[in-house]
Amino acid sequence: MNAAQPFAQLTNATALPWPQVPDLPVSRLLEATAAELDRGARLCAWFGVPEDGATRLAAVLAYDADNVLAVARSHPTSGSYPSLTPAHPQAHLFEREIWEQHGLKPEGHPWLKPMRALRGGAPANAEFFRVEGREVHEVAVGPVHAGVIEPGHFRFQCSGEEVLHLEIALGYQHRGIEGALAGGPHRATQVQVEAIAGDSTVGHATAFASAMEALGGGEAPLRAQWLRLIALELERLANHTGDIGALAGDVAFLPSASACGRIRGDLLNLTALVCGNRFGRGLVAPGGCRHDLDTARLAEIGERLDRALADAEQACTWLWDAASVRSRFESTGTVSSKQANDLGLVGLAARACGLVRDVRYDHAAGWHRFAQAPVAVWPSGDVFGRARVRWLEIQRSGQMVREQLAGPPEGGVRDAAPEAAPDMLAVALVEGWRGEICHVALTGPRGEIRRYKIVDPSFHNWMGLAMAMRGQAVSDFPICNKSFNLSYCGVDL
């Protein structure tokens, strides 16, 4: 690791006094950020911090191989700055967001349009990219979709059946979560954080709790960190199993679809056994966890987990054995590892393109410092790869939870909620089941939240879905979409 001087280094789930974050001229920050991205750093967050009527740009970079993060900020600025996106597509959505939130224009951004701004009871989508040609036609889908699923708009440019381009327009779910955090944390903050993305409740709640604990200069009791790991892996198990079932359903392979639907429920019920809520709500809070597991409950979770995993193995074996399934999954919706790297994909979508990228391994924090599973990687980049990585992770997470249930650390699970120190910047990354959840918290002079930035893994990954659809048939969209299964509300916030 020899990150250049302009950046200050820190590790995951720690904090740094804001005055110690290097304060650079805008042009210097952009040069340095571009140079680091060229050297293989990854953009975790790129956002604005309002100050005296102007805006500071702030960058959080990850050096995965070196297990370290880096931060820097610009002098307050207004007007415009040269866009990073043309050379570094991973900055694409970040720069649109900065433009919308702070009016700071990225000069040279190739597709600058609103993300969440409203016009007449719907997002102000602006013009969509259009392909012209005699046989080119447009397919518009959403915001209300055919399934029981969140809203978003998809605009396909097609030549016959072939998709030339897909543009994804979100913003329908915007609930103002980041804005409401300013001046907080407020009484409803914890509950709002748990609803950033309902299927990633434990992931986001853990990132929030870790950030608040880092701001207070401490961490949760070890037993609480252990319990958070178990809850996080149970969340992963339930969602991965559900997704494999949904993928099976989309190719009309009903045995696995029915079985996985039920097993997913069994796994959600394990989380309910821990805290009463199937989605893990009310479990993780700054300072620790609100529930503990006694010996009897540990044993019951273990037994039921073993049964669920055995059932999942059976259901997945049917799937992998079926030639009809493999032929639909293989070479469908392929994203190359270069594309994945350029777009900054995270989580299972990145690992299914052969990228070894997993916060639990690269930036281990909490109990993941003491318990690790091998990173599950598959090189093919297609629907098969994304399904396969899910299955590998079911096996490995299942094994990890089993091991952890057998050896709980001593002690309590809850300390008093930490007091955030003034003028501190904390970064917390958590490997949610979709991928990297990033929370960046900055406090003001009284220790109140001055700026809170949330980056759901879907924020990085939606563009991956758009690229996966190029050259596919429109009819492959459902299966490609399922294979990513991204969150709408996680992006809309």
User: Which member of 8, 54, 112, 273 binds other proteins (CB under 8 A)?
Assistant: 273
Q: Quote the least distance from Cβ 310 to other proteins, whole Å.
A: 12
Q: Looking at residue 375, what DSSP letter applies?
A: P
User: Which member of 19, 53, 121, 445 binds other proteins (CB under 8 A)?
Assistant: 121
State yes or no: residue 276 binds other proteins (CB under 8 A). Answer: yes
Contact range with other proteins by CB under 8 A, out of 42-50, 55-63, 154-162, 170-178 = 170-178
Query: Tokens representing 62?
Result: 């990850």
Please tell me the distance from the alpha carbon of residue 3 to that of residue 69, in angstroms, as a whole number: 10
Contact range with other proteins by CB under 8 A, out of 34-42, 82-90, 180-188, 423-431 = 180-188
In 3D space, the residue among 493, 492, 478 whose CA is nearest the CA of residue 154 turns out to be 478
Contact range with other proteins by CB under 8 A, out of 91-99, 183-191, 215-223, 418-426 = 183-191
- Site size toward other proteins, by CB under 8 A: 62
Query: Tokens representing 406?
Result: 């057998």
Task: Scan residues 130-169 and list those touching other proteins (CB under 8 A).
Answer: 143-144, 146-151
CA distances from residue 330 to 320, 387, 482 in whole angstroms, order as listed: 11, 10, 14
Residue 73 or 291 having the CB closest to other proteins:
291
Task: Scan residues 281-340 and list those touching other proteins (CB under 8 A).
Answer: 281-282, 291, 314, 318, 321-322
State yes or no: residue 272 binds other proteins (CB under 8 A). Answer: yes
Beta bridge partners of 137: 158
Q: Quote the least distance from Cβ 256 to other proteins, whole Å.
A: 9
Cβ–Cβ under 8 Å, residues 97 and 55: no
CA distances from residue 183 to 187, 443, 446, 456 in whole angstroms, order as listed: 11, 9, 10, 22
Q: Residue 184: exposed, middle, or buried by beta-carbon count in 10 A (0-12, 13-18, 19+)?
A: middle
Task: Scan residues 190-249 and list those touching other proteins (CB under 8 A).
Answer: 190-192, 195-199, 201, 242
Please tell me the distance from the alpha carbon of residue 147 to that of residue 214, in angstroms, as a whole number: 40
Longest dimension (CA), the chain: 70
Cβ–Cβ under 8 Å, residues 267 and 433: no
Q: Quote the least distance from Cβ 170 to other proteins, whole Å.
A: 9
* Contacting positions for other proteins (CB under 8 A): 116, 118, 120-123, 143-144, 146-151, 171-177, 179-180, 187-188, 190-192, 195-199, 201, 242, 255, 258, 261-262, 264-265, 268-269, 272-279, 281-282, 291, 314, 318, 321-322, 487-489, 492
